[in-house]
Structure 1
């Protein structure tokens, strides 16, 4: 019997869109559908707290949900744990509280007023008082990859030619260059998010499910059965087939 897997792209704090996608999955595959969530649950959207709690509670209830960690989830945890708002992978030097990153919206969902030019010590103290320990522990404990049914699910991608066990965490949650332009087959079909497109795309060796929810576009769910892939759209499975001659957004 062919295994049916569902995957949800980067949510970025949109609880209402997550609930809509979960309803579509339930209608297609039932309440026990096996779902992979691709990371980046926080930042930019209005209800990061609600998203984290929804996923945490679902896992605690024993639902067959696989929740992977993304770069925005790591930035959130690092800020609250260590007061670190900068990641070496952001070459512009922008911090997590910069408007482009979305940390202000995340803290706002926990009732913490913040700004990029605010008193960082006061913001950090308020964040540590407001963010539940179980939210941080949940995000920090999420795996970076998942191998299932000939597919590798990962937030950003992987370094071609490097064994999975030797992959660097920064690549798994941040990589673009060297992965998006890699045209040869991987040992699996790689399913990822992180690089926002106007619409999810199948590139033959990988599927990018980030349709730009973090930029106000749309949250998508995909269905995988063997080598076949569809997007769930208004109660209909729409085939997602490989495209050629198009590069992913960098």
Structure 2
């Protein structure tokens, strides 16, 4: 059982290309395996459009790439469908275009100006016209989780104690507590992002690979062999072991 995983991308196309280069180098040594992207393709970074183009092109070319939906990906599609829609897991005083969320940067990558002095209606109209139908369909259809043997990949995590086939989308995309503090064995090893850290961390029952690419940090790439985990670097594999 082998797999690769890439953390929250947040529009960082150059980092994503570098991550795939490291994976290609590792595959040349160890053989092919699926590559799972754990979501949050868009927002905050400079080239969300380029990220989606790259992932679409790779899948169309037959790459064994799995791309999961993140909460930011859902926020993007919700805005395009209805600019007044409010994600029930987002604070009521925030919107996708708030500077904290990074929606304006995503629209800018499609050539749409979403400055604070522009009303929402024309921003939405420009966005709906600029975002290709193929991108909207891709984002809308992204799966919420993916299982490979004893590994479960998901964006935010799972609700502890709930069967995997009964998990709610809101939790899979948004959960922090009680998941982050739950040390029990969930069955499969959970590989997730969503909660930004300075570095990827292995907790024994889960691995958080969101290393803050959306805030100027690196984009984490890992290789998994059974339950052994390795951080991929420009000089090769570094073991990522459970913290004591």
Please report the TM-score for the alignment, with normalisation by the length of structure 1.
Answer: 0.94
8 A Cα contact 1:99 1:116, kept in partner: no
1:163-194 deviation per Cα after TM superposition (whole angstroms, max 9, x unaligned): 11111100000000110000111111000000
Equivalent in the alignment of 1:17: 15
My pick for the range that moved more, 196-205 or 91-100, is 91-100
Deviation at 1:4, TM superposition (A): 2.1
* 1:92 CA displacement: 5.3
- Structure 1 pair 117–180 and aligned structure 2 pair: CA distance change class (3 A): farther
1:223-246 alpha-carbon deviations (Å, 9 max, x no partner): 0000100000113101000013xx
Q: Which residue of the partner structure matches residue 182 of structure 1?
A: 182
**Mapped partners of 2:18, 2:92: distance in 1:** 35
Instruction: Give me the CA root mean square deviation.
Output: 1.3
Kindly provide the CA deviation profile for residues 81-138 of structure 1, in whole angstroms up to 9, marking residues without a partner as x: 1224532212252100000000000000000000345211100000011000100100
Partner of 2:3: 5
**SS of residue paired to 1:176:** coil
1:99 matched residue in structure 2: 99
Q: TM-score, normalised by structure 2?
A: 0.96
Q: CA deviation at 1:147?
A: 0.9
- In 2, Cα distance between equivalents of 1:235 and 1:149: 28
Cα deviations by residue, 1:184-232 (Å, 9 ceiling, x for unpaired): 1111100000000000000000000000001111101000000100000
1:51 Cα shift?
0.1
**Correspondence for 1:200:** 200
The total of aligned residue pairs comes to 242
User: Residues of 1 paired with 2:234 and 2:61: CA distance?
Assistant: 27
Distance of 1:85 and 1:41 partners within structure 2: 20
Where does residue 25 of structure 2 map in the other structure?
27
Whole-angstrom distance in 2 between the partners of 1:225 and 1:131: 38
Contact kept? 1:199, 1:210, Cα under 8 Å: yes
Q: Which runs of 5+ in 1 are unaligned?
A: 245-250
Query: Could you tell me how far apart the structure 1 residues matched to 2:148 and 2:84 are?
Result: 34
**Structure 2 Cα separation of the partners of residues 156 and 27 of structure 1:** 28
Worse-superposed segment, 113-122 or 233-242: 113-122
Classify 1:130/1:159 alpha carbon distance in 2 versus 1 (closer, same or farther; 3 Å): same
Q: Post-superposition shift, 1:47? A: 0.1
Segment drifting more, 182-191 vs 23-32? 23-32
Listed as ranges, the gaps of 5+ residues in structure 2 are: none
Partner in structure 1 of residue 215 of structure 2: 215
Whether the 8 Å CA contact 1:212–1:218 is kept in 2: the answer is: yes
CA distance in 2, matches of 1:188, 1:4: 14
Q: Distance in 1 between matches of 2:211 and 2:173?
A: 17
3-state secondary structure, aligned to 2:181: coil
